[in-house]
Amino acid sequence: MTAVIALEHMDTNQIAIMSPEAMAIESPSGGFSLGGKYRINDLIRAMLLVSSNDAAEQIALTFGRDEFIKAMNGKALELGMTETNFIDPTGLSARNQSTINDLVRLTEYIRLFRPEMLATTKKTSGTITEVKTGKRRTLNNINPLASGKDFIGGKTGSTPEAGGNLISVFNIGGGPKIVIILGADDKFAETTKVKNSLWQ
């Protein structure tokens, strides 16, 4: 949802400066440094490829954190996600709540109206550029399913409380199929099992 709100409410060419608050977030990834300047679209790319929590936090801070979370929950209601509540932009808090039915609604919305998100997550890597120095870095997708021929896109995540979670969209039998795994010890293996069963 963080990427959806950023794409729909922000200028993705806007430059964000990595702040102490974002850099202090739990489980940072993407190799960001304090004071680094990045365009919003590169922060979105880091979120989608390597689950960068510091990028997600900085996007919300750049917009206005409280208003950003309000927009996330507003979009959830718009999509009929009545059992979903967002507390933060990273998904780290155990107080963030959703259901499989609600996540299907969100995934279907993204598939139909934000396909660029799925296209990003299908790539095995992507580049981001630090604006001040012009230095480019390659981020390798942490989702091993991204290289699959039938993989349309998806997003992985995990916390100690929620376990391993993975939302995937596959092209199976000529059409898209959504596979959602929550609370798994091995989310990739479980997803593959479900995907393979859909081919049978």
**Per-residue pLDDT tens for 142-156?**
999 998 999 999 999
Domain count, the chain: 1
Mean pLDDT of the chain: 95
The Cβ of residue 142 has, within 10 Å, a number of other Cβ atoms equal to 11
Structural domain boundaries, residue 82 = 2-143
Residue 114: Cβ-neighbour burial (10 angstroms; 0-12, 13-18, 19+): middle
Residue 131 in domain: yes
Residue 81 in domain: yes
**Per-residue pLDDT tens for 84-106?**
999 999 988 889 999 999 999 99
pLDDT for residue 165 is more than 70? yes
Q: Can you say which residues are annotated as belonging to the binding site for substrate? A: 155
- CATH number of the structural domain spanning residue 81: 3.40.710.10
What stretches of the chain show up as alpha helix (H) in DSSP?
2-9, 20-23, 40-50, 53-63, 65-78, 100-113, 115-122, 187-199
What stretches of 25-180 show up as alpha helix (H) in DSSP?
40-50, 53-63, 65-78, 100-113, 115-122
Residue 195 in domain: no
CB distance 14 to 62 below 8 Å: yes
Q: Report the alpha-carbon distance of residue 71 to residue 56 in Å, rounded.
A: 14
Q: Can you say which residues are annotated as belonging to the binding site? A: 155
Residue 10 in domain: yes
Query: Whole-prediction pTM value?
Result: 0.94
The secondary element (H helix, E strand) that includes residue 15 is strand 15-17
Q: Report the alpha-carbon distance of residue 19 to residue 57 in Å, rounded.
A: 9
Residue 117 in domain: yes
DSSP state of 124: S
What is the CA angle 175-179-6, rounded to 5? Answer: 90
Provide the pLDDT for residue 200.
Answer: 67
What is the CA angle 150-160-143, rounded to 5? Answer: 20
Q: Report the alpha-carbon distance of residue 2 to residue 68 in Å, rounded.
A: 8
**Per-residue pLDDT tens for 31-69?**
899 999 999 999 999 999 999 999 999 999 999 999 999
What share of the chain in percent tops pLDDT 70?
Answer: 100
